[in-house]
Copies of this chain bind each other. A is one copy, B any other.
């Protein structure tokens, strides 16, 4: 049930039975020598569509570009500044709220989006309440697929410490499952930096010269990707339904 493949009259009908919507949000950023630049958007989109089907929920078009300023020293990265992303989210939710939606479940593929999403929600709640004090209040929630308990457990089992924290085998596996024709290979140095905090883009690249943060994506396989997909869909479907039904 994709918003983009629906008509406005189908949405009108949908809104009679539910005011919930799922919004996939990813990022367009370097993912190491073998990870796809679109990894975070691809994963979020696929899982969001799975959750949409499982829960009979409308899924919005994917927000492909998120907050990835720290990756901008690598070519191909595109990022919004947090101030811009806050405005984008405000525009999205104001429109959708005017349509009748009031439960917004973001399925997120990128850790770097979390802080800005959270900041944006606070600002949107406040600004919408000021301009429309009598409208039914909206609620937003973020579901990070890579932080699902079942996903995290599997990643630890399969990869241990080589999961790392960026360009991870788990996310690479998921893209391999979704895009088997785009599995990339490169000779990855076995030793890879980890543990440096994230500051500016230049600083990031000097500490993480090939873009990986402590990960070994060579471990990834499409079959593992399928497992991650299924676990994430299952767990986030539960979370969405719980979110929708909570008072």
A: residues with CB less than 8 A from B are 2-12, 15, 28, 30-38, 41-42, 60-65, 67, 69-70, 72, 74-84, 86-88, 90-92, 94-96, 98-100, 112, 114-116, 118-123, 125-127, 129-132, 137-141, 179, 182, 184, 186, 197, 199-203, 211, 246
Contacts and interface: CB of A to CB of B under 8 A. Distances in A.
Contacts of A99: 72, 74-77
A186 B137 CA distance: 31
Copy tally for this chain in the complex stands at 6
Contact of A60 (B78, B90, B132, B202): B78
A77 B81 CA distance: 24
Contacts of A64: 4, 61-64
A165 to B, nearest CB: 15
> 9 shortest A-B CB distances, which residue pairs?
A4-B38, A11-B76, A61-B64, A82-B119, A8-B30, A115-B118, A125-B200, A75-B99, A115-B115
A6 B95 contact: no
A111 to B, nearest CB: 11
A53 B65 CA distance: 22
B137 A203 contact: yes
B126 A81 contact: yes
Nearest to A197: B141
Contact of A125 (B41, B70, B246): B70
Nearest to A92: B78
Contacts of A31: 7-8
B38 A123 contact: no
Given A5-B38, A94-B130, 16 more contacts: A3-B38, A4-B64, A5-B179, A7-B33, A8-B74, A11-B37, A28-B60, A41-B61, A69-B125, A69-B126, A74-B99, A83-B87, A84-B91, A88-B88, A115-B115, A137-B199
9 contacts: A4-B28, A7-B34, A70-B122, A81-B122, A81-B123, A83-B86, A84-B84, A137-B199, A197-B246
A75 B115 contact: no
A91 B130 CA distance: 12
Contacts of A84: 84, 87-88, 90-91
A137 B92 CA distance: 23
